Amino acid sequence: MAKQPIRGFSKEVEAFGVSIVFVIVLPLVPVFAEYVIKNDLASATATLAASMYSLTIGTSSRNPLLLALGVVAGLAFAMLFGAVLNAANIPSYTTVAALITIAAFALVHACERWNRHAVEKKSFLG
C-alpha cells in the first residue's frame, strides 16, 4: 500500500490565513500587549488604535463604502483621541466604542478577504 501524504490547506485558504494574520491581527499586537501587560487598556490607546485601524482597513478595502466608513471612523476616533488626552473625566464608553469599531472593521474585512482569496482565488501578494 502506497503511503499517502498529509494534505495541507489549499493555496486559497493559505492566502486567506496569511492575510488575516498580517492585515487584521498583526496591527493589533500592541493593543493586545498593553492589555496583557497592564491588565487594562487605556482609553487613549483604544481610541488611537481604532482611528488608525479603521483608516488602514478602509483604505485596503476594495469596497467604497468601507473606505468611506473607515475615513469617517478614523477621523472621529482621532478627534476623540485628542479629547481623551485632554480630558479629566473620560466617558466609560470610549474604550468600548473603540473596541466595537475595531471588531466590526476586522469582521467585515475578514469576509472581504475570504471572498478575495478563497472565492476569487487571488494570492495574498498578487
- Report pLDDT for 126: 67
Location of C-alpha cell 493555496: 11
Q: How many CA atoms lie within 13 A of 34 on its CB side?
A: 11
pLDDT in tens, 65-94: 999 999 999 999 999 999 999 887 888 789
What is the distance between the alpha carbons of residues 126 and 120, in angstroms, rounded to a whole number? Answer: 12
Model pTM score: 0.88
Q: Tell me how far the alpha carbon of residue 10 is from its chain's centroid.
A: 24
pLDDT by position in tens, the chain (length 126): 778 887 888 889 999 999 999 999 999 999 999 999 999 999 999 999 999 999 999 998 999 999 999 999 999 999 999 999 988 788 878 999 999 999 999 999 999 999 999 999 988 886
Which DSSP string corresponds to 16-61? HHHHIIIIIIGGGHHHHHHHHHHSS--HHHHHHHHHHHHHHHHHH-
